[in-house]
């Protein structure tokens, strides 16, 4: 995966959107960097997909679509273990994002 200033800014904006409960916007922010590389076979691409799925899950909860949210949450959980296997210059940020996602999860009792 190619690293850029856009990537770093997107990760920062993703966190801000999560903090502000703007889960749809969070999805859009990360999708902007994920979509161009979605066919790459790297674990980092999959991890980003997992983060996108987490934000979609939270948006579904806001819309009171709990059953759909549960299904999407499972996609996040499928990719979450990649946090411990990838080599990335953004690894610390990815762990921060995962912790934040987990905190939102517990508030919403998924």
Q: Specify the pTM.
A: 0.92
Closest alpha carbon to 18 in 76, 46, 59: 59
Closest alpha carbon to 85 in 33, 50, 35: 50
Position 13 scores a pLDDT of 97
Position 83 scores a pLDDT of 96
- Alpha-carbon distance of 36 to 50, in angstroms, equals 16
Taken in order of first residue, the domains within the chain and their CATH numbers are 5-108 (1.10.3450)
- Alpha-carbon distance of 79 to 73, in angstroms, equals 10
φ/ψ bin of 61: left (φ > 0), alpha (ψ from -120 to 50), beta (otherwise):
alpha
Q: Does residue 21 sit in helix, strand or coil?
A: coil
Mean pLDDT for the stretch of residues 66-79: 94
Q: Give the pLDDT band of residue 53 (cuts 50, 70, 90).
A: very high
Closest alpha carbon to 15 in 46, 45, 51, 42: 51
Position 4 scores a pLDDT of 78
């Amino acid at each position: 995966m190619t690293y850029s200033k856009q990537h770093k800014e997107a990760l920062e904006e993703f966190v801000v959107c999560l903090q502000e409960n703007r889960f749809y916007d969070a999805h859009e922010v990360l999708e902007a960097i994920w979509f161009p590389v979605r066919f790459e076979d790297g674990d980092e691409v999959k991890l980003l997909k997992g983060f996108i799925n987490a934000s979609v899950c939270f948006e579904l909860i806001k819309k009171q679509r709990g059953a759909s949210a549960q299904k999407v949450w499972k996609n996040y959980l499928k990719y979450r273990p990649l946090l411990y296997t990838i080599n990335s210059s953004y690894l610390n940020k990815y762990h921060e994002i995962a912790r934040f996602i987990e905190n939102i999860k517990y508030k919403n009792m998924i």
